[in-house]
Structures are given as structure tokens and as C-alpha cells.
Amino acid sequence: MDVISLRLGKKLDSVVEKDLKEFNYSTKTEYIRQAIRELHDKLSTEKAIMTLARNKSFAKRAGIKEPTEEGYKRIRKEVGQKILNRFKSLPAEKS
């Protein structure tokens, strides 16, 4: 595992310290790892949604001619299920 050193600055460090207490994180490392995981999941999901929305064959199979909000909801649901299935197949993380 690589070691990464970073400077947070006073404002961001105070936010982290406050969150550590409020949300019961035991260490800054645990907090930062969780933040990275959540950001990665969010970015991956957004990328998958945009990719699927652009994919005409997917839209056609899903019955979406011109993507609407309802169409995007259907896409998000399918993407979410695919991501969930992918994470279920991953080995458990070691601490």
C-alpha cells in the first residue's frame, strides 16, 4: 500500500476534525478513505449514466427515443444494479 502525504490547510482540517467527532470516525485516514471511496463511486456512476445515455442502442432497447427524466431514471436504476452486482463480486476489503 502506498503512503500519501497531503496538506489540508486550516479550514479543511477543521472540517475534518469536526466530522471526526460528529460522525464517529476514529482516524483522519479512515475519514479520507471513505471520502475517496464515495467520490469514486459517484464519479463512476455519473460516467456510466452518461455513457449509457449516449448509447443509442441501449436507449432503443430501454424504449427511450428522446431521453426524458423518466428515461434517465430507468438508466440510473439499471446502472445502479450493474454497479451493485460488481461490488458484490469483489473480495472483502482488508483493514
What is the extent of the structural domain holding 74? 10-88
Q: Is residue 2 part of a domain?
A: no
Question: Is residue 64 a contact partner of residue 71, using CB atoms and an 8 Å limit?
Answer: yes
pLDDT in tens, 39-70: 998 888 888 777 766 666 666 666 666 667 77
pTM above 0.85, yes or no: no
Overall domain count for the chain: 1
Q: Is residue 39 part of a domain?
A: yes
Region of 70 please: left (phi>0), alpha (psi -120 to 50) or beta. Answer: alpha
What integer is the mean pLDDT of 24-30?
93
Q: Is residue 94 part of a domain?
A: no
